[in-house]
Structure 1
Amino acid sequence: MSYYSGFLIAVPTANKKAYADHAAKSWPVFQRRGALRMIEAWGEDVPHGKVTDFYMATKAKDDETVVFSWIEWPDRATADAAFASMMEDPDMQNMGEMPFDGMRMMWGGFAPIVDMKA
């Protein structure tokens, strides 16, 4: 069964195109390491909560949009090996400055427990 790396990021709204371009440049690096799919989803209907929400989790500012993204891998071993070697890849090193505050990015690895399709 597949394995997923998930990410939650606050991106300056003005940097939407720069973020999309940055993400597109990263895809070949992930793909070479076995990634099956990458999704970058720009927040459109993200409610503000009273106790917790995506904005609080990322400490998003008024001029930022929350981005939820994930990478699908064939298995955890492939994902772990990819991330262990990725920073040595010249393509990754030459991607330039990230168009968001990486200190507020959160990520994790997830094993599916329910996977249904139409």
Structure 2
Amino acid sequence: MEQYIDGFVFPILRVYLEEYKKVAEKVAEIWKEYGAIAYFEFVGDDLFLEGTRSFVKTVDAKEDEEIVFGWVVFPSKEIRETANKKVPADPRMASLVSPLTHPEKLIFDASRMVYGGFKPLVQSNE
């Protein structure tokens, strides 16, 4: 069975990073309840390489924003598709995400997120 991942990159205001982290830790557990075998989110540290387009430019990050890069690993595309239907419908998600997307205090703006599902090309983990 081939693994499948969902990958994402988005900016977040630096002042909200810790608040976001607390929510993301709970969200990770929900994804795993629905079949994910791993969940990762990292904060940008070294984001520029001459001759390439940076994540900063891709998501139009501002001076006061951090870049979050993450991925969710699934045992198969089928399990990923089932999870992608069930996770948003889980009532815990609404209560976790709504404070992040409130217009008066917008912490997470999905319209600035880059996202995609990926099948394996090369896997070297041994």
TM-score (norm 2): 0.86
* Cross-structure match for 2:74: 73
In structure 2, the partner of 1:29 is 30
Alignment-derived partner of residue 99 in structure 2: 97
Does the C-alpha gap of structure 1 residues 111 and 51 become closer, same or farther in structure 2, counting only changes over 3 Å?
closer
TM-superposed deviation, 1:60: 0.6
1:116 lines up with 2:89 in the alignment: no
Quickly say closer, same or farther: Cα 1:50–1:63, change in 2 above 3 A: farther
Instruction: Give the corresponding residue for 2:103.
Output: none
Q: Which runs of 5+ in 2 are unaligned?
A: 101-106
Query: Structure 1: which amino acid aligns with 2:94?
Result: Q
What is the aligned partner in structure 2 of residue 85 from structure 1?
Answer: 86
Aligned mates of 1:61, 1:19 — CA distance in 2: 17
Displacement of 1:94 in angstroms is: 1.0
Q: Where does residue 17 of structure 1 map in the other structure?
A: 18
Tell whether the 8 Å contact from 1:48 to 1:55 is kept in structure 2 after alignment: no
2:104 alignment partner in structure 1: none
How far does residue 49 in structure 1 lie from its aligned partner after superposition? Answer: 5.8
Q: Which moved more, 1:76-85 or 1:47-56?
A: 47-56
When the two chains are superposed, the root-mean-square deviation of aligned CA atoms in Å is 1.6
Runs of 4+ in 1 over 3 A off after TM superposition: 48-51
More displaced 10-residue stretch of structure 1: 1-10 or 87-96 = 87-96
Gaps of 5+ in 1: none
Query: Cα distance, 1:51 vs. partner?
Result: 6.4
TM-score normalised by length of structure 1: 0.91
1:18-74 per-position Cα deviation (integer Å, ceiling 9, x unaligned): 121111010122011100000101001111767622011111111111111000000
Identity %: 28
Aligned length: 118
